[in-house]
Structure 1
Amino acid sequence: MRLTRLLTLLTCAGLTLATAVPAAAQQTAPERLKVMSVNLWYGGTKVNDYRAKQVRFLREQAVDVVAMQETYSVAAKELAAELGWHHYQASYSLGLISRHPIIAEYAPVNAAGKTLSGAGIRIRLPGGREAVVWSAHLNYTPYGPYDACHSGMTNEQILRREEESQRPQEIRDILAELREELAESRHTPVILAGDFNSPSHLDWTRATRKSHCGYALDWPTTREVAKAGLTDSYRTAHPDPARDPGNTWSPVYPWNDQAGKAEPQDRIDFIHVKGPLRVLDSRTVVVGTPKPVPNHRDNEWTSDHAAVVSTFRFTA
């Protein structure tokens, strides 16, 4: 593995195996891995009593690892401390927490030459299995659904502005950093999760034009992920985007005041996977019945995105 990108946390490999994997745990490898991706919305600070609500939600979901965005530089550390978990606070936005030991960190990627768009961890599960998990947070502007639904641009104009947003280049840079891990994913699965600020090419199809302002678009950012061999866990579990749109944006923004139009509802948060993991279930999750902005302060749900939760089973 690349020592320039992979920062090993442990100083002694022999001691690591003795302390990180108890003898009893070595007997049985886990069959399942439950992963969450969630944008915390300014760390959750837009909602009253946000940290206690976040901890309660994470305990209820019983996940193994969480890829977070908009962590406000502290959420990964503070949530891990509350849960008794391991954490990697990678940047102002990016953080990951895991109930299983983190044995290595992947430093943030200076993607597209300007932003820290992705970072990751390698975790070791009971029994010795490992998994690589990355959190990504891509540039938010210009936003393609606004170009379509608010401005009525042509397909060509929208796709040109997608390249101008640098999201496709950001994801290409992240995938380049993961090249070695993806090549080894037959043995160690790779999970790329996060807020892409882009719809999926799997969703804006001819069959779903009515719900997407009349457009069918081959969104390039998710197309790059598919070209690298990763699969979309939600769309694997729910292959019909017309029946199961899986929208994650936005449970608290039904209306766009600036445009004076309805806010386009879309699926822009993802959990992609490559390697020996079979998708058992994937869903979008919101707790309670969130009130829309500006009446959101007492919501039980502390984000402006829905979370994505995918459950996998290890294969041979």
Structure 2
Amino acid sequence: MKSNILRYAMLVCLSASAVTVSCSESKSGDTPEDPGKLTAITLTPSPLSLTVGQSAQLTAAATPATASLEGLRWSSEDSKIARAGDDGTIEGVAVGKTTVRAKCGDVTASCEVTVTAAPIVLEKIELSVSIASVATGKTLDVTAKLVPENAAVEGPVVWKSDDTSKATVDQNGRITGVAEGRTVISATLGSVSASCDIEVYSPAAVREFTFLQLNLWEGIANVNNGQEALIKQLAELKPDAASFCEFTSEDNARTILTAVAAELYKRTGIRYTYTCKGGSGTRGLLTRHPVLSTDAVNGNLWFYRTVVDFYGQQMAIYASHAYHMYYACYLPRGYGDGSSPYGWDKLANGPITDIDFILDREEKSGRTQIAKDLTADTRAQQAQGRLCIFGGDLNQPSHLDWTEAMKDKYEHNGCVVAWPISTTCYADGMKDAYREVYPDPVTHPAVTWPVNNKDARKETQWAAEADERDRIDFVYYRPDAKFAPKKAQIMGPSSMISKSAVVEDQFVDKAEELIEPVGGVWPSDHRGLFITFEVQFPQ
């Protein structure tokens, strides 16, 4: 019995020992885990630096390499600093630091992301001049302004002259005139560049300044190919300055003048710039010389002033367009002046020849203020050493044309009228450039409206049964010992409209007095003026 008990006890011990050994072997790896199980994730690059608005791709690598990253999810601890996309694209949002995590199952990896301010990109370079002139042997300093000024850039601005035989430029922007001609000076930094056109001239005792004046008839809207006609005329004449009026708006003026200036540069190689302002009819000015300032005069109602540098001599140039109502020169012709009670209709009781009544109606237009403002401003400009030229459609004749000798011409019906703009200007010493060259209105009437325009989309005349031809477009100047008109010409068709009929105008020397349309197309219902002034320079 004892022997059996002892034998049973030994079997129990042996069984217990076998169980213990089996558990121990399992823990030691005799039965290995899945070799493809994900144990770690590595993110590259890490850490990550971005600028605001910049994006970068984080790449996730599995350990072991055979492990699957299916179901990988990206997140940002602070998405206000950096956002994490589903594909690991990280975008910098705001300056700061945050942590981006990639998680797959219960395995997570993290990457510190630092976001800094984006470098400020250079948008453009602004030069102190767009066009300029310099005498041979003289220098001109041009400055380059970076926009924005705190842009992140590498290296200095690089200056270059396209034609060093005309002008050179050093790396400080100092231009030296070498020989007469034109060149382009450029300033470049990285991929950003700006340029200015430079004219090199030889000092001279006398120079010609050519000035063109023209009404553009509702922004050249009434003539087929009117803008092309204007460009051709300007390319042929190459005026130093051109005054325009009757744009429909400032936007219309900018659109036309921008296109015209660009095309003139292509065709002539001369860089024109422009100014424009609204008021009583939008006015504009093109010039091939540096613009120093543009200012309104008396609220800019009637005209404005642009100051240009003409080879060292400053010129104050005025562009004008006057109100067209109370057009009192229609009254002697038997038509209403456009205002109540007449309108533009033919007068039921015939022509009005009462001079005092005519002038009273004219005064209601307010146009006399043009002369008052002009004379006052030109005196002030002349006191600063500037030469003064005014151009515009004044919608009023001149006392120099409605004289005793002219009282029975152009249906003046015996009227001799001291029209107030011209009389006020002359009383203050200003002069009519055309009449200074051609003082006799009988031999040189130079009527400017209405022209016979074969390409017009509508009639140019307003008074169908009258001879309404008149000179209502002018170039005035303030006399100065340094300059005077040398030559005066009218521009446009040779024929006008009178009583609804085409009438060939009279000329003493047509080739000398009239500049006809280049290509045969004229952009206006008015003729224009082309005045050549002679300017004296101190030696």
Q: TM-score range by the shorter chain?
A: 0.7 to 0.9
* TM-score, length of structure 1 as denominator length: 0.83
Larger radius of gyration: 2
Q: Which runs of 5+ in 2 are unaligned?
A: 1-126, 134-139, 144-174, 180-199, 265-270, 335-350, 454-458, 503-518
Structure 2: how far apart are the matches of 1:227 and 1:22? Answer: 46
Map 1:134-145 to 2 at 5 A.
Answer: 134-145=318-329
Question: Kindly tell me: are residues 259 and 122 of structure 1, through their superposed partners in 2, closer, same or farther at Cα, counting changes over 3 Å?
Answer: closer
Retained in 1: the 8 A contact 2:493–2:527? Answer: no
Map 1:179-218 to 2 at 5 A.
Answer: 179-184=379-384, 187-211=385-409, 212-218=412-418
Which residue of 429, 433, 445 maps to 1:229? Answer: 429
Which is richer in helix?
1
Match of 1:123 in 2: 308
* TM-score, length of structure 2 as denominator length: 0.50
Retained in 2: the 8 A contact 1:77–1:88? Answer: no
Query: 1:290 Cα deviation (Å)?
Result: 7.9
Map 1:1-316 to 2 at 5 A.
Answer: 17-19=140-142, 23=177, 24=179, 25=200, 27-29=202-204, 31-72=207-248, 73=250, 74=253, 75-83=256-264, 84-91=271-278, 93-107=282-296, 109-110=298-299, 116-126=301-311, 128-150=312-334, 151-184=351-384, 187-211=385-409, 212-252=412-452, 259-274=463-478, 275=480, 276-287=482-493, 300-315=521-536
Query: 1:18 Cα deviation (Å)?
Result: 2.8
Q: SS at the partner of 2:282? A: coil
Query: 1:169 Cα deviation (Å)?
Result: 1.7
Structure 2: how far apart are the matches of 1:218 and 1:266? Answer: 15
Question: Kindly tell me: are residues 117 and 179 of structure 1, through their superposed partners in 2, closer, same or farther at Cα, counting changes over 3 Å?
Answer: same
Query: 1:139 Cα deviation (Å)?
Result: 1.1
Structure 2: how far apart are the matches of 1:168 and 1:232? Answer: 16
Retained in 1: the 8 A contact 2:446–2:490? Answer: yes
Q: SS at the partner of 1:302? A: coil
Question: Kindly tell me: are residues 44 and 259 of structure 1, through their superposed partners in 2, closer, same or farther at Cα, counting changes over 3 Å?
Answer: closer
Structure 1: how far apart are the matches of 2:243 and 2:462? Answer: 31
Which is richer in strand?
2
**Which shifted more, 153-162 or 71-80?**
71-80
Structure 1: how far apart are the matches of 2:235 and 2:242? Answer: 12
Structure 1: how far apart are the matches of 2:486 and 2:292? Answer: 26
Q: SS at the partner of 2:407? A: helix
Query: 1:143 Cα deviation (Å)?
Result: 0.7
- Name the % identity: 27
**Which shifted more, 150-159 or 229-238?**
150-159
Q: SS at the partner of 1:262? A: coil
The residue type paired with residue 290 of structure 2 is: P
**Which shifted more, 77-86 or 87-96?**
77-86
Q: SS at the partner of 2:423? A: helix
Question: Kindly tell me: are residues 86 and 22 of structure 1, through their superposed partners in 2, closer, same or farther at Cα, counting changes over 3 Å?
Answer: farther
Retained in 1: the 8 A contact 2:460–2:525? Answer: no
Question: Kindly tell me: are residues 208 and 257 of structure 1, through their superposed partners in 2, closer, same or farther at Cα, counting changes over 3 Å?
Answer: closer
Question: Kindly tell me: are residues 149 and 288 of structure 1, through their superposed partners in 2, closer, same or farther at Cα, counting changes over 3 Å?
Answer: closer
**Which shifted more, 240-249 or 67-76?**
67-76
Question: Kindly tell me: are residues 244 and 288 of structure 1, through their superposed partners in 2, closer, same or farther at Cα, counting changes over 3 Å?
Answer: closer
1:202-242: CA deviations, max 9, x gaps?
A: 11110111113321111111111122321111001101111
Higher relative contact order (CA 8 A, sep 6+): 1
Query: 1:251 Cα deviation (Å)?
Result: 0.5
Structure 1: how far apart are the matches of 2:302 and 2:176? Answer: 35
Aligned length: 295
Structure 1: how far apart are the matches of 2:448 and 2:209? Answer: 22
